[in-house]
Structure formats: C-alpha cells, structure tokens
Chain A
Amino acid sequence: MSRLTVLLDRVRRSADQGFTLAELLVASMMFMLLSSMVFTTVIGATRQAQSNRQYNDLNEEARLLMNRMSRELREAQAVKAVVNPGGGVSATGAALYPGYYVPDPTGDSEVTFQVDFNGNGTIEPTAGDPEELTYRYDRANRRVLLLAAGQTLPVLAAEVEAFRFGFTSRLHEADGSVDGTRDGVVNWEELDADANFANGNKNHVLDGEELTRLDSITVEITVLKNERQQTYRTQVDLRNRPY
C-alpha cells in the first residue's frame, strides 16, 4: 500500500472508534453542572421577578388605597365614629399619653365618615354612590375592608401589616389638657380630656363632641410581603367640615 492509503485507513479507523467511558462521564458531569447552574439561575431569577411583580402590585394597591382614602377624607364633612384609634405619638414614635389611652393591639381599627358626594346637602348612606364609608383594618386577615351601603369590599386584600390612624384638631385651647404639655399639636386624647373648649367627656374614647372637633387625619399603612416592607403615610385635612 502506498503511504497515502495507510494514512487514510488510520484516519477512518480513528473516527469510528467512539468515546471512552471516562470521556462520557466527564462530559455528562460537565453537562449536568452547567445545566444545574443555568437552571438555578433561571429559577432564582424567575422567582425574584415574580416576587418583584407581586411586591410591585402590593405597593400599587397600597398606593391606590391611600389615594382613594385621601380623596374621600378630604371631601368628608364629618367623622361619625372611630374604633380603636391610634394613640398620639411623638416624633420618635413613642406613645404620648401611655397612661391615658392604650390601643388594643389585637383589635380591629376603623373610621367611619360622611361625604356629600352629590352635593345635595343630605348624607345618603345607601345611595348608588354611598355617602357613608367605613374603612376597617381586619387585623386577623391582614386586610383592609371598605364597608358601605351594607356591602363589605376587601379594598386591600392581604399583606397589610399595620393600618393606623392619627386624629388631630386645630382647637389650640385644648393643647396640654392631658398632661399639661403644650406641644402645639392637639391630639384626640386632648380633645377628650378638655371639657371647656372641646366639650370632651373624658371617657378615654374618641366619641361624641370630640369627633366634631377633628380637623385632620393621619393615615399610615404598612404592607409586608416576605421580608419586604413598605410604609405609606399621609395627612389629610377635612375640607368640608361645617364647623
């Protein structure tokens, strides 16, 4: 045979040989390692994206709730009832009057107010656009409910870690009526404790005449999903108070 024929025969034989077991094992392991790395990355990133989306939706819902409630409160002409109101807090977050009022940490909170949406001078709680609204924090189910015209709507379905109110007044004469400290802010406890100007009944509950003295409501909502938490806070002046 010529030298060329010998060389071609050797090449043909080498190409037909296949892989050794060791080669296959190494290749498989490399493939599995690479695949697992890729899939781990994909799954992790997908989860993260989903979490982001959910968190985004949650934020958006909270923001919508705040916007909606702010608008309605701005137009409110009277606060009708309050259940388990938050106590006054200082700038550092400490309770201002711990001996006067202690919020129920396990109870639901709610505020009921009236808005004359159609401007006819009458509050119509069961109208098509109900004019008496209650926002309630359903603590057990971590959601915020809107109660109106006999219906209950979960306006923020879940993940609500906290939903707090703050109630203040411009009746400066009542400032300091609880403990003598005049800090320039009149909280509802001071209205309750002031019998002279606010007609407060000193029953440690926000009710009766005190409700008619409220000028401003602070709303704070905290949503928590997994470990991601976001707090929104706004202060709304009641623009249609008749008094």
Chain B
Amino acid sequence: MNRIRRDDRGVAMVTVLLVTAVLTALGVTVTQVSLSNLGNAGRDRVAGGALGAAEAGVARAISYIHSRNTNAIACSPTCATNPWGNKAAPKVVGLPDGRQASVWIETVQPFAPPTYKAGTYKIHSVGAAGPGKRTLEVTIEVKPMNFPLGIYTTQKLNNGGTAAVFNTTVLSHECIDSRDKMTFTGMDAYYGIPAAAHSTKYITKANIQACDNNLNNVWLNDTKAIHRAAVGTCSPEFPYDQDNAPLGGTFPAGSSCLSAPNQYTTSSLFTSEIIKAEPYNYLPRGLKDSDYALLKARAQALGLYFTTNSPASTAWPNAAAVPNPVVYFKLNTGEKVTLQGELNSYGWQADASCLLQHPGLVLVVEGGDLQLNSNARISGAVFVPDGNMTYNGGAQVVGTVFAYKLHFTGNASVTLNECYTRGTPGGVLDIKPLRFREVDR
C-alpha cells in the first residue's frame, strides 16, 4: 500500500496544474474583455474631454473678440504677434485639468462698415485631452449690438455751441435746435449716407427752450424750421436733414434736394417708426437691459465697475494695458462723472490709412450724467441712458454716443470714421454662431 500511495503523489500536482492553467486562461480572457471595455470607455471619455476642450477654445476665441475687436485679427491667418490670428502657431488655451485647445480665427468677410455691416469669421479649435483630439470649426457673425450708431439723444438736442460733426449722423427722438450752429462733414462711416441731422419731430435754426409738440404750429409759424410751409419738404440749405414736419415726404419733381451730391433719400420724412426699424434699431434706453447687464459683467471682470462718480486716479484704465475695456458707472440720479483727461489714452482723432491698431472703450454711465471737459479726448461707444451728456469746450469723441439728453457747448468735435467702425470695441459687438462643424467626423 505504501508503494501505491507513493505512485499517486504526482496526480495531485498534475490536477492542480491543469486547473490552474484553465483558470489562468479564463482569467486572461476575462481580463482582456475587461481591458477592452475599459479601453473603449476610456477612449470615449478622452474623446468627450477633447470635444469639451475644443468647445472651450471656441468660447475663449469669442471672449477674445469681445475683449478686443475684429481689427485685432485683420492680419489673420499670418499675424506675426497675435496667435489668435496665426494659423501656423495658434493660441494655446490651457484648461485647469491639463486639457488644452489650439485656436485661431480666420477672417471670412471682415467687419468693414459701411460696405460690410456684419463680419464673418471662422474659429478653428483643436481640443486635446491626453491622446485624444477633436477639431471644431465654428463660423460666427460679428456686428454691433442694436443701437443707433451715431450721435443719439432721446430728448431735445441742446446745441449751444458750434459743434463739428464728422462722418456721422445726429439723431433725436425730439427736436433739434440751432441747427445752423452745427457743421456736418463727409459721409456717415457706418450707414454710408451723408452726415446730417435727423429728428422724429422737427429741426429748426431757432434757439428754443422746449420742443413744440404741435408740429402744425412749427410747420406754419416757425420761420426758422428747416422744413416749413414756405420751404416745403425740401430744405436746400440742409438737403440731407430729415424730420417729421407735416407734409414731409417725397421730394417733388425738380426739387433741389433730389439733385444734391451723394443724395441718399427721396424724402425728408423721419418718424418714430423709422428710427425703431433697421438700420437704426432704436430702443428707449439705447440697449436692452440684458445688454447693459452684459456690459456691467464685463466691466466687473476688469475691475472697472464703479458706483462712485470719482474713482481713484489709479483705478482708471490705460489703453496700453487694456486697449478695449468696458468702464461702467452705476450712479444715482443727479450724480455726474466729469472727465478731464482720465481716459485720454483712448483718444485719437484720425488715421486715414487705418493701418494702426487704435484703442477704444465702452463707457456706460447708468443713472447719472456725464460731462466731457474741454481737454477730454476719448474714442469709443458712450452710453448715458438716463441722464445728461455734456460736451464742454473742445471735447473730442471718436465713436458713438447714446444719451438721454445731449448738450453741445463750445466747439465740440464728434467723429465716426471708418477706422473706428472697423475697430468697434468688442464690448458692444454681438457675436452669433452661424455654423458648428465637427471636422473629424
């Protein structure tokens, strides 16, 4: 029996080896399946992460345009110093979790008013998460928010000086007085029409305290109204001005207004309905409340949101550091921001060739008033939706103004040139995605 026992000893080992081999084979199979599953899930996760990174890159590109302007990428796709406009060496946007996106912006149709009032751009974004990459192309349309792009006032335009208006339109939802004290020069850089005055009531050369609501009185009795019974619907002195005087309408045959150089209209009629429609898009406070909220948020992000009318001298932005900021004042009624030279780093007057990158800001004074003193020089979009905006002396503005009440005193200079319109501050640009495309489909 001892011999038999000795002969069985190897069987246990063989059995154990067999079972172990089988179990190992099965384990390997299960592991392979699990690894395959894990690998697929991992690839899914990586692809999703890369897509998210690419989306983040697109969002950052849009944010870049909002913080600058479209002129900053006019050199695309070969911008030497701006990676946002460099196809070969695009901007690398890093995300906190290690993912990143390489982004650049292609110009399809530059925003170049008055010919192209909206620009088209294509954002190329390659998102990377680990070994995964996803590519997005998002085409966007860029144009200014809806507001009258000129010099606009809701109330009567008080023209107490000799304002010089270059390449822009003056619009009033009330009357305009002392018309002959204003000089208009050139073509409107945004609307492409001769620079002129437009009132939804009437325009007069007289210096008046308040607008007469009865337009018939004006038409029949105001000897200085530019459109009156004696003159009819055409004012040869101001052939491009429009108002809502009675009988205002189509110029009669042979009218001198029809043959004025660069004639843009066949009628002197300008109504509340006209100003509310394209291309002026008038809203009672200039912008929608949501747009003001957006501007406020952008100003807060830059530390340029103020609830005082006299921020510390060090709090004002400088164009060298922040070329296109949003500066937002939220004040009480009657409080006034007075600008001497605090924002003069944003001032420039003309650049015929428009080769330089000019700064420009968005300045909002909500609730209170704004006064530009004689030595103030700024460029940008100015909004004073609830109060008075006063130009003193020779204050100069290149850009647009929307004010509840507007006062020109002294020899103010107001300009809207093509160089400004092309570089309209990104804060007031509306960016709408037109087409979303995943390239690596």
Chain A residues packing against B (C-beta within 8 Å):
14-15, 23, 34, 38, 41-42, 45-46, 48-49, 52-53, 56, 59-60, 63, 67, 71, 74-75, 116-117, 119, 239-240
Contact = CB atoms under 8 A, between A and B. Distances in A.
A133 to B, nearest CB: 12
**Chain B contact patch, size range:** 20 to 34
Contacts of A75: 436-438
B37 A59 contact: yes
B307 interface: no
Contact of B436 (A38, A45, A52, A74): A74
Nearest to B137: A119
A224 B29 CA distance: 22
B247 interface: no
Nearest to A242: B434
A56 B441 contact: no
Interface string B1-19: 0011000000000010011
Given A38-B19, A59-B37, A119 B29 contact: no
B290 to A, nearest CB: 14
Interface in B1-46: 3-4, 15, 18-19, 22-23, 26, 29-30, 33-34, 36-37, 40, 44
Contacts of A49: 26, 29-30, 33
Contact of A119 (B36, B437, B441): B437
Contact of B26 (A45, A53, A56): A45
Contacts of B441: 71, 117
A34 B15 contact: yes
Contacts of A56: 33, 36-37, 40
Interface string B418-441: 000000000000000101111001
A239 B54 CA distance: 15
Interface in B116-160: none
A39 B29 CA distance: 17
B30 A52 contact: yes
Contact of A239 (B18, B23, B34, B433): B433
A46 B33 CA distance: 12
Contact of A42 (B22, B40, B437): B22
A166 to B, nearest CB: 21
